[in-house]
Amino acid sequence: MKTITLILLLLLLLPFHTQALDKDKELRIEVSTSLAWNLSRYMTKRTTMAACMAVGLGKELYGEYDYGGFDDEDLLADFAGCTLGMLGYQTEKFMLSPKEDGIQLTYKF
């Protein structure tokens, strides 16, 4: 039940169409999802989330230092991607497949 609630919450937080996201947010979700999916094979849930979010936070801190801009929405996109990747690996109901312009996420009922 927790998994379904979390998935519904993520779907409410994110726009339904990726066209509504700018390219940076879309890439962050894709990379975070892939990273968490693969880290989940070798790490616990907490360690996976911590490592995945550390990568996103590191990117934001680098952006703040290099470009002078820290964006909270980027961290939300990282969190959404990390969560989707972890849930996808744990429930095995998500399927990630590459597309020409990104990654397709399919949920099996």
Its pTM stands at 0.68
Task: State how far the Cα of 43 lies from the Cα of 56, in Å rounded to an integer.
Answer: 18
**Mean pLDDT value of segment 40-44:** 89
> What is the band of 68 on the pLDDT scale with cuts at 50, 70, 90?
confident
Find tokens 């616990």 and name the residue. Answer: 44
Give the best-scoring range by mean pLDDT among 4-13, 16-25, 29-38, 67-76: 29-38
Q: What is the mean pLDDT of the chain?
A: 78
For residue 96, what is the enclosing H or E element? Answer: strand 94-99
**Mean pLDDT value of segment 59-66:** 86
> What is the band of 72 on the pLDDT scale with cuts at 50, 70, 90?
confident
Q: Mark 27-65 as b/e (b = at least 16 C-beta within 10 Å).
A: ebbbbbbbbbbebbeebeeeebbeebbebbeebbeeeee
